[in-house]
Amino acid sequence: MKEDGLILVFDVGTTGVKCAAFEPDGERACAHTVNYDTVYPKPGWAEQNPEDYWRGIIRGTRALLEKGSICPSKISVIGLSGHMNGCIPVDASGNVLHPNIIHSDCRSQAEASYLKRVFDEWHFYSITGNRIDPHYTFTKILWLKKNYPQIYEQTAYFLNSKDYVGFKLTGKLGFTDFF
């Protein structure tokens, strides 16, 4: 990384994507937010179109460039963050097969109840690092498997919002943060 280069970050949030550039010392150079919609097809359901994240990043980056706030040659690194506990099923080529079932969606209550009958909750936590909860990704995957088996069969990866953006930026699937 160039010592004087900018840090460009994309934060995929619940209501929009924030595009921002920071100086190496952490001082914010500029920022632009592009909003997108959440769809509520049924009570307790909440979905977003992952392509809205990507379009927001393109529009937000263009806005920063058009304002003259950043110069592409000054960018040293790109950082990603995004809301978690979603479920974006994609095929082996990265094509989205179903809208992102976002963190606030609780349609998978039956799947969570089933898991609580099958697993001791502490044992489940020791394996996954998550509680059994309809807001978490695993129960959403089970819901898709039960309700849309054809989508489940086509799915190569289940992504979160930032991982989808990471794929769009790099063309690589199957990667996320290491903890």
pLDDT grade for 178, boundaries at 50, 70 and 90: low
pLDDT one-digit tens code per residue, 145-163: 999 999 999 999 999 999 9
For 106, residues 6+ apart whose C-beta sits below 8 A from its C-beta are 44, 134, 135
What's the chain's average pLDDT?
Answer: 93
Mean pLDDT along residues 7-16: 96
pTM score, whole prediction = 0.91
pLDDT value at residue 111: 98
pLDDT one-digit tens code per residue, 88-120: 999 999 999 999 999 999 999 999 999 999 999
Per-domain residue ranges of the chain: 6-106+157-170
pLDDT grade for 179, boundaries at 50, 70 and 90: very low
pLDDT one-digit tens code per residue, 53-66: 999 999 999 999 98
**Dihedral sign, Cα of residue 26, residue 28, residue 34, residue 38:** positive
Give CATH superfamily name and number for 6-106+157-170.
ATPase, nucleotide binding domain (3.30.420.40)
A 10 A CB-CB count for 134 gives 19
